[in-house]
Amino acid sequence: MASLNRIFLIGNLTKDPELRYTPSGIAVANLRIAVNRRFRDKNGEQKEETCFITVVVWDKQAEACNQYLRKGSAVFTEGRLQSRSWDAPDGTKRNTIEVRADRVQFLATQRQASEKPAGSGNVSAEEPRVGYESRNEEDSSDDTSWAGNEE
């Protein structure tokens, strides 16, 4: 049976990126993003629900995220869901589901866009104009010794 594991998110960072390096020297960054969903309840009242998601970014894309993104930065992320498990210090088995980013594109917030001169686009002159494409999956999928943001 065919399957598909692809996710697209637009949200804002809830804190600065966390950049680390694997023992083999590959950069890995965790982005914690908030994604909002607006809807009307059964009484017709406008409601908002927020989902907090960890996005894992590898290699040069991770370094670019660490350099240019900060808490509150808006991002578009494309990737896949990935589950991970580890043994917690208290001996319990822990599991998490994260987004493994293939692409992260930096977006300007409304405030940032209004502060820029007309025609300057959605990023500043020193920021890249598009997201970075990650390396092939085989390059970093076996190097999971970076795991360490367990909650």
- pLDDT tens for each residue of 139-148: 444 444 444 4
- Is pLDDT of 149 > 50? no
Instruction: Examine the pLDDT at 119 and tell me if it is beyond 50.
Output: no
Tokens of 122: 């959605």
- 142 within domain boundaries: no
Number of domains the chain contains? 1
Q: Is residue 148 part of a domain?
A: no
Is the residue at 151 inside a domain?
Answer: no
Q: Structure pTM? A: 0.72
- Average pLDDT of span 65-69: 96
Is residue 31 in some structural domain?
A: yes
In a domain, 38, yes or no: yes
pLDDT digit string, tens, across residues 25-48: 999 999 999 999 999 999 999 999
Dihedral in degrees, nearest 10, Cα atoms 52, 57, 61, 64: 50
Would you state the structure tokens that stand for residue 87, as one six-digit string?
A: 């043994």
Q: Is residue 145 part of a domain?
A: no
Task: Return all residues near 58 (Cβ < 8 A) that are at least 6 apart.
Answer: 26, 27, 28, 101, 134, 135, 140
Q: Which residues, including other chains, have CB under 8 Å from residue 36's CB and lie 6 or more apart?
A: 11, 48, 49, 50, 51
d(CA 30, CA 9): 15
CATH of the domain at 85: 2.40.50.140
Domain extent, residue 54, equals 7-135
